[in-house]
Structure 1
Amino acid sequence: MQFKYDFFEQLTSLYQVVSPSAIDNPSWLAWSDDAAQLIHHCQQSDHLLQQFAGQQPLPQAHYYAQVYSGHQFGGYSPRLGDGRSIIVGEVLGPQGAFDMALKGAGKTPFSRHGDGRAVMRSSIREFLASEAMYHLGIPTSRALAVVGSDTPVLRQQMETAAITVRLARSHIRFGHFEYLTHTLQAGKSELKQLVDFCIKQHYQYSCDSAGYHAWFHQVVQDTARMIAHWQAVGFCHGVMNTDNMSILGDTFDYGPFAFLDTYHEDFICNKSDGEGRYAFSQQVSVGFWNLQCLAQALTPLLESDVLVQALQTYQPLVVEHYLYLMRQKLGLAIVARNQQRDFEIIGQLTHVMQTQRLDYTLTLRQLAEEEPFITKHPVRDHCIDPQAFDAWYDNYLEALPEVTDTAQWQQQRLAVNPKYVLRNYLAQEAIIGLERGDKRPFELLYQTLRQPYITHTGAEALTQRPPDWGEGLILSCSS
């Protein structure tokens, strides 16, 4: 692997040098060939295993932990940082450079009262989640591997430590800008240095007033598109703090996340979120709130009217992209004259899903699997009140465009409505299997998530509604 160290060399106030702490008796628990292609087809080996486990240094590595601030559940935390993630450097690959981080590699100066470790269950969940999101077409960090160990870690009970090898286009967060402005009370030059770094690394804008304006507009757009993707696929992030918001609009920091089972617009996937700040229905508004926090941190560098102008594009962009995605899912005309009608069709469908206790992913997939304009749709058989579905279906049929090629119309819808998503209970079953030394449930789940739109032989159980114990399963931030 070939590294470069632009962040390390240029932004010295935003990290501290650290050394990873080794885990005992390491083994490969998971590996992504897809992610490995990003860094010139990196391959598993015993030597690489020792390096990822912290037992040997990667050649020429500069290990460091970033420092940043963040609004956590609405309150400002002035000094956070990578409490259990250590960045190795920026790995060069055919698509550019990717930050490589060892998540769970031991204590850093920002661990506070934590041990700097990640446990196997949370590491496997992050691996599955980031790879599932990528194959659903949603901007995300990637997981190259998970290294398991015999090292004991105490949480609610004794568990074993693991390290996730994460790849990200950038680990720069909204919280980095907040840290410079609010915590360090840094001047305009320090803030400019960070913005210039982002622009030079990832954009084609000039590092002047016009370029800064275009850059912030792009950040707003990328965030809006990411959250529209979340809403369309039924993904709940769970911890939308500003320190978990990527400046590039990539999903990362997978903690207590969930994909919807039975549709419930106010579903909360995080046990620690008692007030529902990050409920599914709140994600769009929280995204805007977080962008406002970022804008406030940028006021030493950008004029307020420019920031406000960019922020005003957020809501229309979310609606526009969400409508585009949902029109694809439902087979509606992508460019429609009646936006309000389509929005109402979608809203009526989610209302039917909620009142009739329908599964979000399965309902959209079942709608896609049938030919258009059938009289009695099979989805109605899953409804408490079939007439409620019929009323929506009649309105939906009136909104459909003329279909001249039924097979093509169906194929287009099947290609955007996944048959498999990472339900929390499926992840839990895979984790239980790994704890018992049985990798088969994990491998089956992982392979279906890599191709979520096609039917996999032997994976019928992964398309069923959850059992009672797994319905709406939620988790805490403990890892």
Structure 2
Amino acid sequence: MAALTLPFENSFAALPPEFFTRLMPTPLPAPYLVGVSEDAARLIGLDPAQLDADAIDVLAGNRVPDRASPLAAVYSGHQFGVWAGQLGDGRAILLGDVATEAGPVELQLKGAGLTPYSRMGDGRAVLRSSIREFLCSEAMHALGIPTTRALSVIGSDHGVVRETIETAAVVVRMAPTFVRFGSFEHWFYRNDEARLRVLADYVIDRFYPELRDEDNPYAAMLEEVTRRTATLIAHWQAVGFMHGVMNTDNMSILGQTLDYGPFGFMEAFNAQHICNHTDQQGRYSYAMQPQIGHWNCYALAQALVPLIGSVEATQQALDVYQGAFGTKVDELLHAKLGMKEQREEDRALLDELFGILQANHTDFTLFFRRLSGVHAASDAGDEPLRDLFIDRPAFDAWAGKYRQRLRAEGSVDAERRVAMNGVNPKYVLRNYLAQVAIEKAQHKDFSEVERLLKVLQRPFDEQPEHEQYAALPPDWATEVEVSCSS
């Protein structure tokens, strides 16, 4: 069976033993398959059709594949802006990494039981959050946003206590590495420069080998990570994605979206929207994400100062953030509006747009998708858009300026429509869609998980047979809350 014979290489396990604890996953009673991503499976050479009972045992953590070297990594971090000290993989166990044509891919079991880093937790994940992470990981990949992947969700009737009694599940997550900003902070705050250097050398040699010949490879790594982080968050803002818990231990050293917890996609636009019910202060609101990304890069930079050697060189590496974010978000927003050229006066047009989206709480995804129907010469195609606004005269005024801007660069309606529909998704993982799939799965009906996954893997296609997944959310959707409980 293919799942038992993956050619694990275990590069992280080759680091000194202080970086992790070796341990076996805790068996999950009577596991069953909830969902599998065929796309993610193909990445590591697996055929989903071969996922028999033995394979499900592997994906649940009940059997360890040959050549795997299970471990839980140690790291620390800032949580909600406060130093939290040692954290670590409290419910995640790394099996090892597999070589692929696209580079190494680590397989990690999330929800695989207690580890030395579980603190007050039980080491388990629940079906609810596991389905959300599974679907969103694959949805973000389909949107072209850097992210960890999700191979499968395995469920069980085993009960775990959260606000209520829920059932346990295990997600198999995939990424080139799960090293995070907090991995470096851990050794910095312990004043252990030797192990800090070991970790930095590992990351550079394995993931940034082109930086090894730089005059200061550690500064070059910080600069590249900062640039990738800024670019990632520009992607988040452009698609209306809110991470919800941007702690430094949830920030990937590769600039990928990591640790899907209380995330959300913007619906009725509100720049101050907080998708995480636990975030009482709004630290991780939509509007704050770019600033917090910068703050997190500063936290990483502080940890790397002993290796970089000077505050000046460290600051210089960090200085790329604002430019990288601004350049990417401008590029993405111009593409969303179907504008090929970038002009100085466009800032006023964009600011006015987001002002009327805010004032009218317009649905973010529907607005940008329908915007492709606007005609440069007249308002003949405006009605589907106007229907999204309470203050229609305000929209009409902006739309007139937008059409004028399109005409100024000779925009062709048909060409622009195709280009805009290639960057403005019709389908995103709205919380209520996930909730419907979760509730069915809790009654052992996994058809909606499978159906929703397939829809989200083609977010830019029309898919008229799935039109209901692109509709405005129902009234009850406002009652769906997500928090750090998972």
- TM above 0.5, yes or no, is yes
Residues 208 and 460 (structure 1 numbering): CA distance in 2 closer, same or farther, change over 3 Å?
A: closer
Residue in structure 1 matched with residue 169 of structure 2 by the alignment? 162
Offset from partner CA, 1:211-261 (integer Å, 9 cap, x none): 222221111110000000000000000000000000100001000000001
Residue in structure 2 matched with residue 225 of structure 1 by the alignment? 231
Counterpart pick for 1:117 among 105, 120, 124 = 124
Three-state SS of the structure 2 residue aligned to 1:50 is helix
* Residues 196 and 207, structure 1, Cα contact 8 Å, conserved in 2: no
Residue 93 in structure 1 maps to residue 100 in structure 2? yes
TM-score when normalising by structure 1: 0.96
* Residues 235 and 332, structure 2, Cα contact 8 Å, conserved in 1: yes
Counterpart pick for 1:33 among 23, 27, 38 = 38
Counterpart pick for 2:305 among 291, 296, 299 = 299
Three-state SS of the structure 2 residue aligned to 1:352 is helix
* Residues 159 and 165, structure 2, Cα contact 8 Å, conserved in 1: yes
Counterpart pick for 1:84 among 57, 68, 91 = 91
Counterpart pick for 2:22 among 17, 20, 31 = 17
Three-state SS of the structure 1 residue aligned to 2:216 is helix
Aligned equivalents of 1:262, 1:444: Cα separation in 2: 25
* Residues 17 and 65, structure 1, Cα contact 8 Å, conserved in 2: yes
Aligned equivalents of 1:413, 1:463: Cα separation in 2: 16
* Residues 23 and 150, structure 1, Cα contact 8 Å, conserved in 2: no
Aligned equivalents of 1:239, 1:59: Cα separation in 2: 35
Offset from partner CA, 1:420-465 (integer Å, 9 cap, x none): 0000011000111112232332222111100001122431211111
Counterpart pick for 1:238 among 226, 241, 244 = 244
Residue in structure 1 matched with residue 354 of structure 2 by the alignment? 350
Between 1:133-142 and 1:55-64, the stretch displaced more is 55-64
Residue in structure 2 matched with residue 434 of structure 1 by the alignment? 441
Residues 76 and 42 (structure 1 numbering): CA distance in 2 closer, same or farther, change over 3 Å?
A: farther
Aligned equivalents of 1:359, 1:160: Cα separation in 2: 33
Q: How much has 1:357 moved relative to structure 2?
A: 2.0
Three-state SS of the structure 2 residue aligned to 1:97 is strand
Residue in structure 2 matched with residue 53 of structure 1 by the alignment? 60
* Residues 109 and 173, structure 2, Cα contact 8 Å, conserved in 1: yes
* Residues 9 and 67, structure 2, Cα contact 8 Å, conserved in 1: no
* Residues 334 and 342, structure 2, Cα contact 8 Å, conserved in 1: no
Three-state SS of the structure 2 residue aligned to 1:292 is helix
Counterpart pick for 1:412 among 400, 419, 427 = 419
Three-state SS of the structure 1 residue aligned to 2:140 is helix
Residue in structure 1 matched with residue 377 of structure 2 by the alignment? 373
Mapping of residues 8-407 of structure 1, within 5 Å: 8-43=13-48, 44-182=51-189, 184-187=190-193, 189-203=194-208, 204-206=210-212, 209-302=215-308, 303-333=310-340, 335-338=341-344, 341-376=345-380, 377-378=382-383, 379-400=385-406, 401-403=408-410, 405-407=412-414
Aligned equivalents of 1:208, 1:95: Cα separation in 2: 24
Q: How much has 1:207 moved relative to structure 2?
A: 6.0
* Residues 75 and 87, structure 2, Cα contact 8 Å, conserved in 1: yes
Aligned equivalents of 1:129, 1:81: Cα separation in 2: 23
Aligned equivalents of 1:232, 1:305: Cα separation in 2: 32
Aligned equivalents of 1:143, 1:168: Cα separation in 2: 9
Q: Which amino acid aligns with 1:169?
A: P
Aligned equivalents of 1:347, 1:20: Cα separation in 2: 51
Between 1:407-416 and 1:394-403, the stretch displaced more is 394-403
Residue in structure 2 matched with residue 448 of structure 1 by the alignment? 455
Aligned equivalents of 2:296, 2:136: Cα separation in 1: 23
Between 1:104-113 and 1:429-438, the stretch displaced more is 429-438
Between 1:433-442 and 1:206-215, the stretch displaced more is 206-215
Q: Which amino acid aligns with 1:201?
A: R
Aligned equivalents of 1:3, 1:200: Cα separation in 2: 19
Three-state SS of the structure 2 residue aligned to 1:299 is helix
Residues 91 and 472 (structure 1 numbering): CA distance in 2 closer, same or farther, change over 3 Å?
A: farther
Residues 157 and 411 (structure 1 numbering): CA distance in 2 closer, same or farther, change over 3 Å?
A: same
Q: How much has 1:42 moved relative to structure 2?
A: 4.5
Aligned equivalents of 1:410, 1:308: Cα separation in 2: 42
Aligned equivalents of 2:185, 2:243: Cα separation in 1: 21
Q: How much has 1:370 moved relative to structure 2?
A: 3.6
Aligned equivalents of 2:56, 2:37: Cα separation in 1: 14
Offset from partner CA, 1:178-203 (integer Å, 9 cap, x none): 00010x2202x322211111111112
* Residues 35 and 446, structure 2, Cα contact 8 Å, conserved in 1: no
Q: Which amino acid aligns with 1:347?
A: D
Aligned equivalents of 1:261, 1:310: Cα separation in 2: 35
Q: Which amino acid aligns with 1:18?
A: L
Residues 301 and 395 (structure 1 numbering): CA distance in 2 closer, same or farther, change over 3 Å?
A: same
Residue in structure 1 matched with residue 3 of structure 2 by the alignment? none
TM-score when normalising by structure 2: 0.95
Aligned equivalents of 1:135, 1:112: Cα separation in 2: 35
Q: Percent identity?
A: 42
Gaps of 5+ in 2: 1-5
Q: How much has 1:209 moved relative to structure 2?
A: 4.0
Aligned equivalents of 1:404, 1:366: Cα separation in 2: 17
Alignment coverage as a number of residue pairs = 474
Residues 251 and 144 (structure 1 numbering): CA distance in 2 closer, same or farther, change over 3 Å?
A: same
Gaps of 5+ in 1: none
Q: Which amino acid aligns with 1:460?
A: E
Q: How much has 1:406 moved relative to structure 2?
A: 2.8
Q: Which amino acid aligns with 2:145?
A: I
Q: Which amino acid aligns with 1:3?
A: F
Aligned equivalents of 1:65, 1:381: Cα separation in 2: 51
Mapping of residues 453-468 of structure 1, within 5 Å: 453-468=460-475
Three-state SS of the structure 1 residue aligned to 2:355 is helix
Q: Which amino acid aligns with 2:66?
A: P
